[in-house]
Structure 1
Amino acid sequence: MKKEIHPDNYRPVVFKDMSNEEIFISRSTVNAKETIEIDGVTYPLVKLEITSSSHPFYTGKQKLVDTAGRVDKFMSRYGNRNKNK
């Protein structure tokens, strides 16, 4: 391995999945602004929107995200076009 090209600040970091509140500890060099205490030890905290514990590909569960009724709006505009003919 070449010297002085790899970061030397590897440390345990807590990653938190915000969609299901699951946490896991891994070693990383990521900069974190927040900290969390687990079993009396303080770790840097990195919040993630999605991880393998909540991603539909890994969990096998698909979610239909309907923001502001877009599916209903589409169905009311275009869903009944074939019924009138």
Structure 2
Amino acid sequence: MKSGIHPENYRPVAFRDMSNGDTFISRSTVNTRETVDIDGVTYPLVKLEISNSSHPFYTGKQKLVDSAGRVDKFMNRYAKRMESKK
């Protein structure tokens, strides 16, 4: 590693996944305005939209996002085809 190019102000920071409330602590240099108390210790808080505890790849749970009823339209068309084949 080159000397003098890495930050010196690493400190424990709490990261919170806002989709499920899971919180973990890691070392970081990120600047934050909010803090959170965990087990009597105050940590700077970074809010995340998604983390490994809520991402579908890691959890194995897929969410079906229906935009403008497209899935319903497809299912109705598919059901009509299945009825006509019977």
The answer to which structure has the higher helix fraction is 2
| CA–CA distance in structure 2, aligned partners of residues 46 and 60 of structure 1 | 25
| CA–CA distance in structure 1, aligned partners of residues 72 and 61 of structure 2 | 24
Q: Which amino acid aligns with 2:53?
A: S
Match of 1:26 in 2: 26
Q: Percent sequence identity over matched residues?
A: 69
Where 2:6 maps in the other structure, the secondary structure is coil
Q: Which amino acid aligns with 2:73?
A: M
RMSD: 2.7
Runs of 4+ off more than 3 Å: none
Q: Which amino acid aligns with 1:42?
A: T
Tell me if 1:7 matches 2:3. no
Shift of 1:30: 0.9
Shift of 1:31: 1.1
The normalised TM-score by structure 1 is 0.78
Shift of 1:72: 5.6
How many residues align? The count is 82
